[in-house]
A and B are shown apart, each in its own frame.
Chain A
């Protein structure tokens, strides 16, 4: 559904020194700045796939999404979305694509969302029955049916984001770009939106690209991630593989049942793994994932354990490790 071949984008801007002197100088001479936002990336995304695009600010995530959504022209390379070049803006493609931008409202601020949806119905030429069905399904799933006639500016951030989702998905797009869809939302709203996206994926099987700084979004929604830095891909593969590759350990945490007068428990040196915390109440050990069962059993036998948990390394930490390793490998 999405095929990208050596896609690049270079921006040209001008630099202006701060202050009055800089302003006056810029009237006569401006220094040109060239920034390569995306450098020759290639990938494919199939039906029903949600791909997480991960990277620091300025890595090129949003520029890549903007090219695929047809907003900006690439400097070189090629891309096909449902067989069309997105920047040629063929209406047959645009009727099957949606872009959801968490940082940029798409709906009309002064109008109730219901009015905006009616306009979108005409923009996307949605039939009356399809419109009614889609609207009912989306607003009921997101629990916003009762807010349709309230001006958008009077809704909370979470409610507005849900309305943005409804607006973007009314026409049942086959390709969806989600740019920071949960940014600034509270935990409950984040959960609701993640569940909704998964539900939509199951129902309609679109190809989705998700960019987010919330690793919880990536971990919950994506089976595949692309890690991008300075416009280049540093990893593209299944999420579980990246976790195995860059997080070979799991963290075993035991909560201890030790009285105030009892001596601190001793962990033998033969225990595989690295003790990252050893307190009176809690011990945390990083253990190679293939030996987790053995270590957990050993800890249960040796220590007065009240509770025991086994956790994966956080995906954010995994991404940091990728950046560290790839950074070190660079000339």
Chain B
């Protein structure tokens, strides 16, 4: 796949998305506001009940900031419901047209996936600007250029990692009649072990340390920790290395599943 085609695909998906303007703005606002509001009131109650200033190494302002960031970054990392498009392609025969085109199906789909990130990026810019005005920002939170660049790189890798993590599950559609429950399970595991639901520092004992060697923390927890200035440059490099290694492993797994799956694909629907 040429870079030019990658950009064309990216562009066409963005245009497609903009054609549903109401959906675009609704999805941009509601999910974020609900997620942050729940986190705010829940953690306010927890902090009040515990009577302590810090929980899991976070004060209240830092905790709210964590949820604001994890919500915004989460959308960038996960994107829309892309991976389910792969299983839909297999079930409904939509894969057939991509097999006829002289291009790599996964790269083509990934370019479409990135094109669909437009709402998440708009939200990141919009709410990233508004939140410091509306919510109290913890003392000392002023990410510099290095932290922002490191976070951007982590988000990029996190996005690819999430794509590759969900891909083998979606490819099971070659054999199974429905992969929805598998995909939901994987998503929940990713959210839990990735620090989307609670910061990993709240995990018991050595669980946080053990989770470092799994791919999940590099989806949500890792980029948030970078921008909040809680990671050293060495920890950043180490995390990026582990995330990229997982990308490689998952790409190999996806490729193996694809090689087997295409033999049984029947191109239903035509």
Contact = CB atoms under 8 A, between A and B. Distances in A.
A16 to B, nearest CB: 9
Contact of B2 (A70, A119, A122, A179): A122
B93 interface: yes
B19 A110 contact: yes
A94 B100 contact: yes
B182 to A, nearest CB: 16
Interface residues of A, number: 33
A73 B263 contact: yes
B102 interface: yes
Interface stretch (B9-17, B71-79, B191-199, B242-250): B9-17
B96 A119 contact: no
Chain A interface SS verdict (over half) = mixed
B178 interface: no
B175 to A, nearest CB: 11
A99 B95 CA distance: 13
A123 B103 CA distance: 7
A32 B97 CA distance: 28
B189 interface: no
Contact of A179 (B4, B19, B270): B270
Given A66-B96, A124-B102, A72 B9 contact: no
A73 B19 contact: no
Nearest to A153: B19
Contacts of B265: 71-73
21 contacts: A11-B266, A69-B99, A69-B100, A71-B96, A73-B262, A89-B99, A91-B103, A94-B101, A94-B102, A97-B100, A99-B97, A104-B93, A104-B270, A106-B97, A111-B15, A119-B8, A119-B9, A122-B2, A122-B5, A124-B101, A125-B2
Interface of B: 2, 4-5, 8-9, 12, 15-16, 19-20, 93, 96-97, 99-103, 262-267, 269-270
Interface of A: 11-12, 62, 66, 69-73, 89, 91, 94-95, 97-99, 101, 103-104, 106, 108, 110-111, 115-116, 118-119, 122-125, 151, 179
